[in-house]
Amino acid sequence: MTATLIDRYVTTALRRIPESQRADLDRELRASIEDAVEARVDAGDTREAAIERTLLELGDPDRLADRYTDRPRHLIGPEVYPAWRRLMIMLYTVVLPIVVTVTTVLRLIESPAIGPVIGGIVTTTLSVGTHLGFWATATFAVIERVDVGRRALAGPWTPADLPKYEPDRLATSQLVPNVAWPVLLIAGLVLQQFTFTDVPVLDPANWSFWWPYLIVVLVLEAAWALWVFRAGYTRATAAANAVLALAVAVPVVWLAYRGEIFNPAFPGLAPGGEPLYWASLAVMATFAIAAVWDIVEIAVRAERARRGLPARIAGTGRI
C-alpha cells in the first residue's frame, strides 16, 4: 500500500528520534496533524489541501525532529544545517567510496600484494574523509558568518521535499529482476560452453566442480528473492544474503587470482599474458565490490525494517 503524505512526513520526522521516544512522538504528531487537518476540512478545505497546508505550517520534518530532541547546532546555524547534513551524507556515501575504490584498483594494478593494498585503503579513507568533512564544514561555517547566499542555500521547505520509501519486502516489480538475474547468469554460463564461440571463454576444467557449484548457488539466490518477497527484509534474510554473496564472490575471486577462471585455450588469454592479467583483475574487483555492496545494502535494509524505518528511495525528496 502506498504511504500517505502524512505517513511520509511522520516517518521522515521520527527517523532521527531516539527509539525510546519514537512511539509516543508518533502518536502525538499524528494526532496533532489529524486535528489540524480536520479543523481545516471543517472550515471548507479539501482533505488534500488541508494536509498540505498543515504540513507546510509544521515545516521541514528534520527541523521539527531537532526541536523535539533539543539537539544543539552550534558550529553552523539552523538555517543551513539541513543543507550541510545532506552534503555530508552525499560526500561520505558517494564521493568517499568512489575515491577509495579507484585508488584501490590503481594499487592492485601496480602491485597485487594484499598488505600494501589494505594499508592504502585505510590511509585513503582517513585522509580523504578528513579533508571532505573539514572543507565542507568550513565552507558552511563561512557562509553562515558572512551571510552570502544563506537564504538561497537553506531554501523553503515544501511537502514535495519529502522522500519516498520502499516497502520492507521485495515488490513484484523488484522480484522479477532478482529472479531473472541468476537465471540469466546460469544460461550464460552454460551457453558460453557450447554456442557463443568455438572455444569456451571460461575454463572447461571447472565443470568438474566450480561451475556446477556456482549454478547451485545462483539457484539459491533466486530462491532467496522469493523468500524476501514473502517474508520481507529480516536479520535472517540478511544473514542468508551475506552467505550467498560470499559463496559466489570468494570462489570467483580465488579462481581469478590463480588465473584459473578463463580458458587458457581462448585466443589472447594465454597463461602469463597481460590480457589474462587485466581480465582476471577486472573480475576480482567487480565481484569483490559487488559482494560488499550487496551485503551492506541488504543488512541496512533489514535493520531499518526491524526498527520500523523503511528504506528511502534514492533521488526522491530531501535526505
C-alpha cell recorded at residue 159: 511537502
The pLDDT, as a whole number, for residue 1 is: 33
pTM, two decimals, is 0.56
Residue 312 lies in a domain: no
**Has residue 316 been placed in a domain?**
no
> Between residues 69 and 234, which one has the greater pLDDT?
234
The answer to whether residues 191 and 297 belong to one domain is yes
* Residue whose cell numbers read 555530508: 88
The answer to whether 202 touches 263, Cβ cutoff 8 Å, is: yes
| pLDDT (mean) for 268-276 | 77
Average pLDDT over residues 93-113: 78
Contact indicator for 92, 155 with CB cutoff of 8 Å? no
- Give pLDDT, residue 70: 65
- Give residue 250's pLDDT: 94
Q: Is residue 248 part of a domain?
A: yes
Whether 44 maps to a domain, the answer reads: yes
- 266 lies in some domain: yes
Please tell me which residue, 293 or 103, carries the higher pLDDT value: 293
Using the predicted structure, report yes or no on whether residue 237 has a pLDDT greater than 80: yes
What pLDDT is stored for residue 278 in this prediction? 82
pLDDT at 2: 43
Contact (Cβ atoms closer than 8 angstroms) between residue 3 and residue 165: yes
Name, in order, each residue with C-beta under 8 angstroms of 76's C-beta and a sequence gap of 6 or more.
84, 137, 140, 141, 144
Three cell numbers at 178?
A: 532478482
Mean of per-residue pLDDT scores for the chain: 82
Provide CB contacts within 8 A for 111, sequence distance 6+.
117
* pLDDT at position 231 over 90: no
Same structural domain, 206 and 293: yes
Give residue 254's pLDDT. Answer: 93
Q: Is the pLDDT of residue 86 over 50?
A: yes
Cα separation, 99 vs 123, in Å, equals 12
Instruction: Give pLDDT, residue 275.
Output: 79
Scan for cell 500517505, then name that residue. Answer: 4
Confidence of residue 209 (pLDDT cuts 50, 70, 90): very high
Lowest mean pLDDT among 79-88, 187-196, 236-245: 79-88
Could you tell me which residues are beta bridge partners of residue 39? none
Q: How far is CA 2 from the centre of its chain?
A: 21
Contact 4, 155 (CB under 8 A): no
295 plus 221 within the same structural domain? yes
According to the per-residue pLDDT averaged within each range, which of 79-88, 127-136, 164-173, 190-199 is highest? 127-136
And the C-alpha cell for 188?
550464460
pLDDT of residue 145: 67
Selected residue with higher pLDDT from 306 and 32: 32
Average pLDDT for residues 209-234, to the nearest whole number?
92
Residue 260 has pLDDT above 80, yes or no: yes
Which residue range forms the structural domain that includes residue 253?
Answer: 172-306
Who wins on pLDDT, 110 or 194? 194
Choose one of 69, 92, 122: the last residue of a domain: 69
pLDDT (mean) for 281-297: 90
pLDDT higher than threshold 90 for residue 102: no
Q: How far apart are CA 127 and CA 317, in angstroms?
A: 31
Residue 312 dihedral angles phi and psi, to the nearest 5°: -70, 140
**298 shares a domain with 184:** yes
Instruction: Reply yes or no on whether the pLDDT at 23 is more than 90.
Output: no
pLDDT of residue 151: 55
* Domain count along the chain: 3
Run of H or E including 308: none
Q: What was the pLDDT predicted at 291? A: 93
Residue 74 falls within a domain, yes or no? no
30 & 95 share domain: no
What is the arithmetic mean of pLDDT over 267-288? 82
What residues contact 314, with CB distance under 8 A and at least 6 apart?
A: none
Whether residue 167 lies inside any domain: the answer is no
Q: Does residue 53 contact residue 121 with C-beta atoms inside 8 Å?
A: no
Cα(167)–Cα(18) distance, integer angstroms: 22
pLDDT digits (tens, 9 = 90+) for 133-182: 898 888 887 777 665 555 555 566 678 777 777 667 776 767 888 888 89
Q: Does residue 156 share a domain with residue 189?
A: no
Identify the domain boundary among 136, 161, 186.
161
Residue 13 lies in a domain: yes
What are the start-end ranges of the E strands in the chain?
none
Residues 191, 248, single domain; the answer is: yes
Residue 264: CB partners within 8 Å, gap ≥ 6? 203, 270, 271
